[in-house]
Amino acid sequence: MSTQQTAPAAQHSIRPRAGSPARHGAPPLPHVSGISPLPVDLATMLDALPVGVALLGTDCSIRLMNRALETLTGFTTAEVRGIPCRHALRASICLHRCPLRRPLTTASGVTVATASGAHYDMIDDGELPPAQEGDILNRHRRRIPVRMSMSPLRDADGRVVGWLHAVEDLTLMRELEEKTAKGEAFGPLVGRSVAMERVFQALPAVAQNDGPLLVTGETGTGKDTLAEAVHKASSRAREPFVKASLSSLPEFLAESELFGHRKGAFPGAEENKPGRFRMAQGGTLYLTEIGDLPLSIQGRLLAFLDEGVIYPVGATAPVACDVRLVVATNRDPEQLVAEGRLREDLFRRLSAVRLHLPPLRDRGEDIEFLLNHFMGHFAARLKKTVRGCSGKALRTLLDYPFPGNVRELRNIAEYAVTLCHGETVMPAHLPAYLFQAKAEARRAERERKAGRSTGAFGQPGAFDASDTTADAQAASGDGGEHLARASVSDLERRLIADALHRTGNRRGEAAELLGWGRSTLWRKMKQYGMC
């Protein structure tokens, strides 16, 4: 990379190119050649960076600040040009351990000083320290945590002619670290377990990384929530967050939905459509279940990651897109690659930054914490005074494996708060299938001891009604006697009817409310003659 220069400028480490556009009243800046057919304006390049950058002379005076640093400090380049950077940044690092200066000392090690303070000389660039963290005091006297680093600018002969000073805002990272230390949420993502603590510790750095992100985890672990939380903590937070679930669409529709199409590209394309990529311009595009996308579309995603452009259906020219790509899957991505459902080259590209959300069964200490969190939320929304669970109700929940993970626990909490009319959730307020699960576990244990194989959990006939009723009676205590007298089928029939009534007969929502899959709900409705 080289700069094209036409006229020298005294006292400047960077010589301006004649005719370059001026910025903030600055002298013309050089153009950079060798990276595009036409020279690129240096100021434009620096302004595109999300990190604050200042160009300094050899005397540490400011020559140029990009827009990110102007926003951070509150000063424009025109206001601070020519003054030492320490007066503009007012950083603790500048005052106490400037990376470019050291106290001037005599041969005997005595610091040379005057009435105005110590004399300093410039260090050799080979002595530059690594990035340092500290605070700056901006124009509005707000203290901002930052990470600062320096790099030398050299001429063709290798002489240092200036410095590049990078300043990264750490405000979001510090806030997230404080929340993590208190066991609070990363946005709506909550937890106190060791497994989740690892996720929280990685999140700030992941959020600041602008590369593609792969999120893995079982259904219901919170992948959608995580993706949105990462977006909100990133430098793209003010731009769109666009979610795309395309697994149910045929290939040609999924392609159009994702990349857009031109008018007349196919029958029915009566107007131009931007597609999800262009809708997410400047922000984040989140794709659920990457393994369900056709391989041809996966190839086009790989092309976007490599080139930064997309090709709308029917278009003859590429369209540049500035989008961070986040993808998720509830299956093992390595297994998807082995099955030929996920391109290996795309997987390698995506897995450079990867986060895994652990299942709730591996976060045992989070169950009670999350339960209280959700019950508090629904109690406030429903204007109730529910304050917690009885010991027996809590033990029932702690013994349950939660195949639906956090989403299922949330649905259980909503159901319990809805049925509870006092301050304490009792076993009678919990869904009946929780007792079915307990009965199934006991039956499986008996069959294991008897040397017989067991049926699949949750399938029709996989539980003993008498066991379920007995468990309900033992767990219910005061106020739950009706569970002991009712049969399992009657309980499930009532639960299904109630869920359908509450959701306006929308089976998908009813299944989610019950913590079941759609197929499970449909099967039980057929079993009970409800469809």
Give me the residue label for tokens 């509870």: 420
Closest CA to 78 of 63, 56, 59, 57: 63
* Residue 364 contacts residue 358 (beta carbons within 8 Å): no
Top CATH class of 2-169 equals alpha beta
In CATH, what is the architecture of 363-527? Answer: Orthogonal Bundle (1.10)
Residue 477 confidence (pLDDT)? 42
Sign of the four-CA dihedral 4, 10, 13, 16: negative
Which helix H or strand E contains 467, and what residues bound it? helix 465-476
* Distance linking the first and last C-alpha atoms of the chain: 71
What pLDDT does residue 34 have? 58
Q: What is the pLDDT of residue 441?
A: 65
The predicted pLDDT at position 264 comes to 75
CATH code of the domain made up of 174-356? 3.40.50.300
- Please tell me the predicted confidence (pLDDT) of residue 37: 65
Residue spans in the chain of domains classed CATH 3.40.50.300: 174-356
Question: If DSSP states are collapsed to H, E and C, what string results for 360-421?
Answer: HHHCHHHHHHHHHHHHHHHHHHHCCCCCEECHHHHHHHHCCCCCCHHHHHHHHHHHHHHHCC
- Separation between Cα atoms, residue 523 and residue 531, nearest integer Å: 10
Element (H, E) at 64: strand 62-65
Q: Which residues contact 290 (CB under 8 A, 6 or more apart)?
A: 214, 298, 327, 328, 329, 333, 342, 346, 350
Sheet containing strand 160-169, edge to edge, reads: 62-65, 52-56, 160-169, 143-154, 132-137
Pairing between β-strand 117-118 and β-strand 113-114 as defined by DSSP bridges: antiparallel
Alpha-carbon distance of 162 to 42, in angstroms, equals 15
Q: At residue 195, what is the residue type?
A: A
Given this model, what pLDDT does residue 475 score? 43
Tens-digit pLDDT profile for the chain (531 aa)? 444 443 333 333 333 333 334 444 445 555 555 555 666 677 778 888 878 999 988 888 899 999 989 988 999 989 999 988 888 888 877 665 566 655 444 454 444 444 334 344 444 444 565 677 888 888 888 888 888 888 888 888 888 888 888 888 888 767 655 654 444 445 567 788 888 888 888 888 899 889 999 999 999 999 999 999 999 989 899 999 999 988 778 887 888 889 988 887 777 777 888 889 999 999 999 999 898 899 999 999 999 999 999 988 888 888 999 999 999 999 999 999 999 999 999 999 998 899 999 999 988 888 988 998 899 889 999 999 898 899 899 999 998 889 899 999 999 999 999 999 888 999 999 998 888 766 666 676 677 667 644 433 333 333 333 344 444 444 444 434 343 334 456 667 877 887 787 777 888 878 777 777 777 888 788 888 887
- Residues of each domain in the chain carrying CATH 3.30.450.20: 2-169
Location of each CATH 1.10.8.60 domain in the chain: 363-527
